[in-house]
């Protein structure tokens, strides 16, 4: 018990520091925000989901004391609640298995869809709390983008005659800022949960067989959900924002399914490690090649390219 409490305190304080909310504007800390929930996941996977919850409470209280209520709510809604949910669901989904079962991939996919829906709903709710009028929220985001352009001198690179083009560019950036922020939150949860489960497994504290990423597959009906999300995204207001976030999240996981195909189909290849590292690096650095893996993931969803490989 004493060990669990100590772990919770250390994990909570570390998460609060890594979140960047205690030191807004510090770029060196902001870079670590992608792994901010990792200590919570280590506590949840390595000890118990309730230890992760206690860690989250400590992280939120730390943020409340240092930065105020807004920071505490952000940590609670976007880090603590999903971390507790992921660790609890993982224990229930994978805890009854013996060895490495075939269905761990589809259960990972179900967990992924659950995370996407949570991030979408939470993102829309947070937006409504900040500003009930969606048009006003968009205006606030646009002003922030315009201020950032002015502060960095980027607006000076546009000639006076290009003022209309600059305005259109600012509108475009402002329109994608909200869904992209939610996508970054989703990526943060994926990266941190992956690190957390690997660290707990290496420390021999994981209470279930670690799921095999090579089997990762979104459940049936996810393409229908993507189509519905794209339709909802065409609506105005917070409903449209919800659709955009869910659609982006599903596309992101289709990309990961495409990578799972690559990991499975290259088993036994010479230089496999270098090949996989190069593929990940190209997507991270250039982004555009991700479209290839998104399409591979979608076609694998329909035709199962990994049949007989695992």
Quick: pLDDT tens for 46-57.
Answer: 999 999 999 999
* Distance separating alpha carbons of residues 300 and 104, to the nearest angstrom: 17
SS3 208: coil
- If one compares 1 and 84, the residue with the highest pLDDT of the two is 84
Q: Which of 162, 121, 129 is nearest to 249 (CA)?
A: 121
Q: E strands along 99-240, which residues?
A: none
pLDDT attached to residue 231? 95
User: Quick one: pLDDT at residue 89?
Assistant: 93
Q: Which two tokens stand for residue 57?
A: 């409470």
Determine how many CB atoms are found less than 10 A away from the CB of residue 300. Answer: 21
Alpha carbons 118 and 127: distance in angstroms, whole number:
14
Report whether 57 contacts 12 (CB < 8 A). Answer: yes
pLDDT recorded at residue 112: 96
**Cβ atoms < 10 Å from Cβ of 66:** 14
Q: What is the DSSP letter of 80?
A: I
pLDDT at position 153: 66
Place of tokens 């709510």: 73
The torsion of the CA quartet 79, 110, 116, 88, rounded to 10 degrees, works out to -20
Contacts (Cβ under 8 Å, ≥6 apart) of 182: 119, 120, 123, 245, 248, 249
Report pTM: 0.90
Task: Please give the helix or strand (H or E) that residue 222 lies within, else none.
Answer: helix 222-233
Q: What is the pLDDT of residues 260-302, one digit of tens each?
A: 999 999 988 888 889 999 999 999 888 888 999 999 999 999 9
Query: Looking at residue 155, what is its pLDDT?
Result: 62
Q: What 3-state class would DSSP assign to 255?
A: helix
- H or E element at residue 244: helix 237-265
**Selection from 214, 197, 180, 1 nearest residue 102 by Cα:** 214
């Amino acid at each position: 018990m004493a060990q669990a409490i100590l772990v919770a305190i250390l994990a909570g304080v570390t998460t609060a520091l890594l979140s960047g909310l205690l030191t807004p504007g510090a770029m060196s800390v902001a870079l670590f925000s992608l792994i901010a929930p990792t200590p919570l996941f280590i506590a949840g996977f390595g000890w118990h989901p309730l230890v992760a919850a206690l860690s989250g409470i400590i992280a939120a209280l730390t943020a409340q004391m240092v930065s105020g209520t807004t920071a505490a709510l952000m940590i609670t809604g976007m880090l603590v609640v999903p971390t507790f949910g992921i660790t609890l669901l993982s224990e229930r989904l994978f805890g009854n298995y013996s060895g490495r079962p075939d269905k761990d991939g589809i259960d990972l996919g179900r967990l992924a869809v659950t995370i996407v829906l949570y991030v979408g709903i939470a993102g829309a709710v947070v937006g409504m709390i900040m500003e009930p009028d969606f048009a006003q929220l968009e205006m606030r985001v646009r002003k922030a983008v315009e201020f950032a352009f002015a502060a960095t001198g980027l607006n000076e690179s546009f000639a006076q005659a290009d003022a209309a083009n600059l305005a259109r560019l600012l509108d475009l950036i402002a329109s994608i800022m909200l869904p992209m922020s939610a996508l970054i939150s989703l990526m943060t949860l994926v990266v941190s949960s992956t690190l957390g489960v690997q660290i707990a497994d290496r420390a021999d504290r994981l209470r279930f067989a670690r799921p095999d990423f090579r089997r990762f597959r979104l459940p049936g009906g996810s393409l229908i959900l993507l189509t519905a999300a794209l339709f909802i995204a065409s609506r105005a207001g917070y409903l449209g924002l919800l659709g955009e976030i869910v659609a982006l999240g599903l596309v992101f996981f289709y990309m990961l399914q495409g990578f799972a195909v690559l990991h499975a189909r290259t088993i036994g290849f010479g230089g496999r490690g270098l090949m996989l590292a190069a593929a990940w690096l190209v997507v991270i650095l250039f982004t555009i090649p991700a479209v290839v893996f998104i399409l591979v993931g979608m076609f694998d969803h329909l035709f199962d390219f990994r049949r007989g490989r695992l």
